Amino acid sequence: MSANSKLVRPIPFTPRRNPGLSVATGADDDHTRLPRSTTPSLLGSSKKYKAPLSSESRTRHTVKSGFGSVPPTPSRSKSRDGSRPKTPLSPRKGSESPFLMANVSEMDVSNVDPEEVLVDFENVEADVSAEIDEAMLRSEYGKEDKVLVSIRIRPSDNPSAWDVTTATQPKTLRLQQQHMKSAATPSQDFRFDEILTGSENKPVYNAVARSHVCAAMDGYNAVIFAYGQTASGKTFTLSGDEDQPGIIPRAMKDVFAYIKRSPTREYLLRCSYIEIYNEAIHDLLAPPNSSVSQPVQIQGTGANVILTPLREEVVTSLNGVHEVLQRGEGNRRTASTDWNERSSRSHSVFRLVIESRERGSTADDVPSGRTTPGFRPPTPGGPKLQARGGKSVQTSVLSLIDLAGSEKATSDKDRTREGKYINTSLLTLGSVISTLGENAAKGKTDHVPFRNSKLTRMLQPSLSGNARISVICTINPDASAVAESTSTLLFAQRIKKVQLHAQKKEVVDTDALLERYRKEIEELKKRLSEKEKENNGAPAKGRRLSAREQLDESLAMDNLNARIRQLTKLILTSQTVDENKGDESRPASPAKVNFDMSPYQLQQELLAARRQIETQANQILSLEAALLARPQLPPDAPDSDKDKLLTEQAKTIRELEIVVKGYEDNLGEPLRAVREDVEKEWSVKLEQEVKLREEKKVWEDELVKQLDKERKMRMKLEDERQALAAFVKKFDSLGLGGPVFPVSKLQPPMPTPGGAAALFAQRQKSRISALQAEYSMPPLAESESPMRLGTELTAPSLLEEEWDGVEDVSIELEKIGSLPVATKSGLMARKGSRSPVREVLSAKENVPV
Ligand SMILES: Nc1ncnc2c1ncn2[C@@H]1O[C@H](COP(=O)(O)OP(=O)(O)OP(=O)(O)O)[C@@H](O)[C@H]1O
């Protein structure tokens, strides 16, 4: 059988009212009463497939552009028709993922643009920032620590196989009797704190994640999982879409809102994003090539587990988080299963490390903003630790985990491998949580099998009983998915029994990035004030600085200031978050070209910029040298020493990256600014030039038209001349012109009245009226001579040429009928004026006149 022949076609969508779903009550019940489609009969109940969604949710969730949720990604986001891009079969074996290639890392610790706009809290959704209910949060804090387990039933077009009761506490789920394997076995009740239905993500976030996010901000490690079969709604719950932002975007908003409302503390946030695929960890934020060649390793044990090499990015704004997520999501891979369903085959873990500490008591640090008494419980141990000479830093980790689909392996070889790994890690996760719970509950110290999977090993610090955990189990309510849903519910029941004892960690941690940055800022400030003192004291000492020295001095101070600013921006406080509101302008660039500057001034600017770059290059070199000069550990050194060294080195690398970022800013940003300015100026010039050209073209066309008109006129007149010549010829041949004598001006031939003359006059009349019509001239007066009319034409005419030396011509025309007649006196009066007939005939046709 070919691979294709095994594929199952997508299920046709047949909207109709749901007759069967029996949700007893609940705020979201409406969402469950959705039209359904028929279950495909060709799928056996053992087959897993992505069930069609209700038409309502399908249409409602159109993805829009813009910020507001975790962005839809090529790999993870699924359209409502279930289509997902396929993952190459062997994605990590040296081949470069097109997703990875397309997502070159731009923002990391080193790339955080300190000038970048921070959170615009005007835009923070009211439902997220304004509704942090302190009473609710405090009551959560007061509760016994336990894993919060919730069930989310996704809407479906098919009749539900489950009866849901949400009116009672705990809420229950029960399989309908007709779907039980054996009719004799009574169906089991599954009880949970929360059973959520419908497509609204906000109530889900509030019920299952908000208190955990706040706990993380308050110093507890917190982990939020989504667990369930493929297409049951894990990604929808965690990431959501533009209309329904999921837990991750809502959590990030809450994080910044929390900082805004905590004026007594300062924060440093860094995040990482990894994927576990076939038991290999991939850094989704690493530059594509390094990610392929260098899978992330887990080192250390216990609470000291570290991932290396792992890229952690300092984030200072929602936009920054969004960018990180977007890049990471783009790098996630999915694979299609052999029943033609596309599903995610990897686990993704988004981690936010939150470092925070009390703000100092210097004038600079004293907060002036609004405080929320009691909102944040006082930090235990803080004052004690401070009294010992250091400031305690609280570090916590918020992990948001989208697990792979929980169904079993299939026939395809690669997929089987994936399935095995996925199930290994999911099973290990379950048993780790159970053991942790049992140990905590019964005071036992049983071995916890963290090492059995990468997922659990990586999460060991968070899961070691020292984290608040919320698990959202997503299920597909269709009858065809009963087996998977039951297995998911059993998993959920198991975790529910676990109890945890999460503790805050607040220590004088000199390794904390926040502490290191603070220290560096203090040192830089000290150096700066020393320099200022030196400079101010210099004239008093009678020391005069050369121009060059002055420039150097001011550059050094600029550098110090820039670094202080850069580091300060990375540390978030309720004030800085507000201060940055709406500052969306391009960072002021020293090289923003002022075209009015003299070349000398420009050269000076350039020189100064080069010096700054040089200084920073030296800084990088010295940091690199310091890194290299670090003591090497002997190969047999204990693991803990190795881990410590690695952690230190990872931190130094982060610092190096920040300096590099400053270097890039000085080099890259100004160049970009110069280019932009020059391009702008030249584009204006180009535009003007194009406009001018267009005007000229219009003129040119107009002239061509005029010339054409002129040419036509000339042709017409030429016709007229020829007609006249023919007429006179005929006139003469008829002998009407009298005896032929040699042409003499003294004896011009006398036209015979009547006949030709009348014909001539008639012709002239009609020609003239034609001309009149063409040029819209007033009708010819009866008495006017047609010969004179030519003079009134605007266009030059042969008829208008001079007719000289005809004083002696005596032509007497009699009036024939109504035709106008030229009298001898009339003609005589026209001496020196134009006579077309005579002119044409004598000069051009050589006709004797
Ligand atoms: N509660 C819900 N309301 C509306 N749509 C939903 C809901 N749950 C899931 N969906 C939709 O169903 C489809 C599959 O959901 P999702 O991708 O979240 O499943 P998943 O469990 O993450 O799958 P996988 O294990 O393959 O990653 C998506 O189009 C998603 O938008």
| Interval between CA 710 and ligand 1 midpoint (Å) | 77
Which atom, in ligand 1's list, is nearest to the CA of 402? 22
Confidence of residue 281 (pLDDT cuts 50, 70, 90): confident
Q: Helix, strand, coil: what percent of the chain each, to 5?
A: 45, 15, 40
> What is the predicted pLDDT for the residue at 732?
82
Nearest CA to ligand 1 atom 8: 233
Tell me whether residue 518 is in a domain.
Answer: no
Q: What's the whole-model pTM score?
A: 0.54
| Interval between CA 236 and ligand 1 midpoint (Å) | 5
Residue percentage of the chain with pLDDT more than 90: 13
Same domain, 661 and 606: yes
For a pocket test of ligand 1, which of 13, 30, 53, 81 has the largest count of ligand atoms closer than 8 A to its C-beta? 53
The answer, yes or no, to whether residue 266 has pLDDT greater than 80, is yes
The identity of residue 501, as a single letter, is: H
Tokens at 574, concatenated: 């309720």
> What is the predicted pLDDT for the residue at 616?
72
Average pLDDT, stretch 296-305? 79
The answer, yes or no, to whether residue 203 has pLDDT greater than 80, is yes
Nearest CA to ligand 1 atom 11: 233
| Interval between CA 45 and ligand 1 midpoint (Å) | 20
Tell me whether residue 707 is in a domain.
Answer: no
Tokens at 312, concatenated: 């952690």
In order, the DSSP letters of 162-184 are: EEEE-SSSSEEEEE-GGGSSSTT
Please provide the size of the chain in residues.
Answer: 849
Tell me how crowded residue 189 is: count the other CB atoms within 10 A of its CB.
12
The answer, yes or no, to whether residue 355 has pLDDT greater than 50, is yes
For the CA atoms of 62, 66, 71, 75, what is the dihedral angle to 10 degrees? Answer: 70
> What is the predicted pLDDT for the residue at 178?
80
Confidence of residue 74 (pLDDT cuts 50, 70, 90): very low
Closest CA to 246 of 82, 511, 61: 61
Same domain, 54 and 83: yes
- Which residues partner with 308 through β-bridges? 297
**Domain ends where: 657, 690, 723?**
690
Same domain, 67 and 131: yes
Nearest CA to ligand 1 atom 19: 231
**Domain ends where: 690, 713, 747?**
690
Which atom, in ligand 1's list, is nearest to the CA of 82? 29
Range of the domain at 367: 13-39+47-507
3-state SS track over 757-769: HHHHHHHHHHHHH
The answer, yes or no, to whether residue 510 has pLDDT greater than 70, is no
Confidence of residue 422 (pLDDT cuts 50, 70, 90): low
Q: Give ligand 1 pocket residues (Cβ under 6 A).
A: 53, 57, 61, 78, 80, 154-155, 199, 228, 230-236, 343-344, 404-405, 474
Same domain, 531 and 487: no
Same domain, 232 and 350: yes
Whether the Cβ atoms of residue 87 and residue 259 lie closer than 8 Å to each other = no
Closest CA to 128 of 224, 253, 249: 253
- CA 278, CA 155: separation in Å to the nearest integer? 31
Nearest CA to ligand 1 atom 23: 231
The answer, yes or no, to whether residue 722 has pLDDT greater than 50, is yes
- Residue 52 or residue 497, greater confidence: 497
Tell me whether residue 132 is in a domain.
Answer: yes
| Interval between CA 93 and ligand 1 midpoint (Å) | 29
Which atom, in ligand 1's list, is nearest to the CA of 57? 4
Which atom, in ligand 1's list, is nearest to the CA of 81? 29
Same domain, 32 and 127: yes
Which atom, in ligand 1's list, is nearest to the CA of 405? 25
Tokens at 47, concatenated: 């087959």
Average pLDDT, stretch 548-562? 73
The answer, yes or no, to whether residue 680 has pLDDT greater than 50, is yes
Closest CA to 510 of 407, 388, 685, 400: 388
CA angle 655, 660, 664 (to 5 degrees): 150
Closest CA to 348 of 361, 327, 329: 329
Tokens 């576990």 sit at which residue? 276
Which range among 150-154, 270-274, 290-294, 358-362 shows the weakest confidence by mean pLDDT? 290-294
Which range among 117-126, 165-174, 402-411, 724-733 shows the weakest confidence by mean pLDDT? 117-126
The answer, yes or no, to whether residue 393 has pLDDT greater than 70, is yes
Tell me whether residue 209 is in a domain.
Answer: yes
> What is the predicted pLDDT for the residue at 569?
74
**Best-predicted range by mean pLDDT among 108-122, 234-248, 427-441?**
234-248
| Interval between CA 233 and ligand 1 midpoint (Å) | 3
Nearest CA to ligand 1 atom 14: 231
> What is the predicted pLDDT for the residue at 736?
63
Whether the Cβ atoms of residue 783 and residue 772 lie closer than 8 Å to each other = no
The answer, yes or no, to whether residue 748 has pLDDT greater than 60, is no
> What is the predicted pLDDT for the residue at 415?
52
Nearest CA to ligand 1 atom 27: 344
Average pLDDT, stretch 360-378? 37
Same domain, 464 and 584: no
> What is the predicted pLDDT for the residue at 475?
94
The answer, yes or no, to whether residue 239 has pLDDT greater than 50, is yes
Nearest CA to ligand 1 atom 13: 231
Binding residues: 228-235
> What is the predicted pLDDT for the residue at 289?
63
Which atom, in ligand 1's list, is nearest to the CA of 241? 31
pLDDT tens profile 137-153: 444 433 556 788 899 99
For residue 2, the Cα-to-chain-centroid distance in whole angstroms is 41
The answer, yes or no, to whether residue 265 has pLDDT greater than 80, is yes
For a pocket test of ligand 1, which of 235, 242, 277, 418 has the largest count of ligand atoms closer than 8 A to its C-beta? 235
The answer, yes or no, to whether residue 58 has pLDDT greater than 70, is no
Mean of all residue pLDDT scores within the chain: 66
Q: Give Cβ neighbours of residue 501 (< 8 Å, ≥ 6 apart).
A: 145, 440, 465, 466
For a pocket test of ligand 1, which of 33, 79, 236 has the largest count of ligand atoms closer than 8 A to its C-beta? 236
| Interval between CA 293 and ligand 1 midpoint (Å) | 32
| Interval between CA 650 and ligand 1 midpoint (Å) | 37
Same domain, 664 and 760: no
- Residue 796 or residue 632, greater confidence: 632
| Interval between CA 231 and ligand 1 midpoint (Å) | 5
Nearest CA to ligand 1 atom 4: 199
Confidence of residue 122 (pLDDT cuts 50, 70, 90): very low
> What is the predicted pLDDT for the residue at 383?
37
Which atom, in ligand 1's list, is nearest to the CA of 197? 1
Same domain, 241 and 384: yes
Which atom, in ligand 1's list, is nearest to the CA of 199? 3
> What is the predicted pLDDT for the residue at 807?
41
| Interval between CA 494 and ligand 1 midpoint (Å) | 24
> What is the predicted pLDDT for the residue at 806?
39
| Interval between CA 159 and ligand 1 midpoint (Å) | 18
| Interval between CA 235 and ligand 1 midpoint (Å) | 6
Which atom, in ligand 1's list, is nearest to the CA of 50? 14
Tell me whether residue 387 is in a domain.
Answer: yes
> What is the predicted pLDDT for the residue at 713?
94
Which atom, in ligand 1's list, is nearest to the CA of 406? 25
Number of domains in the chain: 3
Tell me whether residue 541 is in a domain.
Answer: no
**Domain ends where: 636, 664, 690?**
690
ipTM over 0.90: yes
Average pLDDT, stretch 154-166? 89
> What is the predicted pLDDT for the residue at 305?
80
Tell me whether residue 2 is in a domain.
Answer: no
Nearest CA to ligand 1 atom 30: 236
For a pocket test of ligand 1, which of 154, 225, 488 has the largest count of ligand atoms closer than 8 A to its C-beta? 154
| Interval between CA 404 and ligand 1 midpoint (Å) | 12
Tokens at 291, concatenated: 């990610």
H/E element holding 95?
Answer: none
The answer, yes or no, to whether residue 279 has pLDDT greater than 70, is yes
Q: What is the CATH number for 158?
A: 3.40.850.10
Residue percentage of the chain with pLDDT more than 70: 53
The answer, yes or no, to whether residue 767 has pLDDT greater than 70, is yes
Average pLDDT, stretch 253-266? 86
pLDDT tens profile 447-466: 888 888 888 888 887 777 67
- CA 498, CA 504: separation in Å to the nearest integer? 19
Confidence of residue 670 (pLDDT cuts 50, 70, 90): low
pLDDT tens profile 808-845: 333 444 443 444 444 444 444 444 445 444 554 455 44
Same domain, 563 and 473: no
Binding residues for ATP: 228-235
In order, the DSSP letters of 683-743 are: HHHHHHHHHHHHHHHHHHHHHHHHHHHHHHHHHHHHHHHHHHHHHHHHHHHTTTT-S----
Tokens at 700, concatenated: 């040119």
- CA 842, CA 638: separation in Å to the nearest integer? 126
> What is the predicted pLDDT for the residue at 507?
57
For a pocket test of ligand 1, which of 78, 202, 406, 485 has the largest count of ligand atoms closer than 8 A to its C-beta? 78
> What is the predicted pLDDT for the residue at 477?
93
> What is the predicted pLDDT for the residue at 536?
62
- CA 179, CA 45: separation in Å to the nearest integer? 11
pLDDT tens profile 7-39: 333 333 323 333 333 333 333 333 333 333 332
Q: Give Cβ neighbours of residue 456 (< 8 Å, ≥ 6 apart).
A: 425, 428, 429, 432, 449, 450, 463
| Interval between CA 204 and ligand 1 midpoint (Å) | 14
Average pLDDT, stretch 52-69? 39
| Interval between CA 237 and ligand 1 midpoint (Å) | 8
Tell me whether residue 21 is in a domain.
Answer: yes
- Which residues partner with 335 through β-bridges? 343
Average pLDDT, stretch 75-89? 35
Same domain, 65 and 198: yes
> What is the predicted pLDDT for the residue at 205?
94
- CA 529, CA 535: separation in Å to the nearest integer? 10
Omega before 748 within 30 of 0, i.e. cis: no
- CA 268, CA 504: separation in Å to the nearest integer? 17
> What is the predicted pLDDT for the residue at 439?
77
Which atom, in ligand 1's list, is nearest to the CA of 31? 3
Same domain, 581 and 497: no
- CA 398, CA 467: separation in Å to the nearest integer? 9
Collect contacts of 810-819 with beta carbons under 8 A, ≥24 apart. Answer: 810/748, 810/750, 811/748, 811/750, 811/751, 812/750, 812/753, 813/751, 813/753, 813/757, 814/753, 814/754, 816/753, 816/754, 816/757, 816/758, 816/761, 817/758, 818/782, 819/758, 819/761, 819/762, 819/765
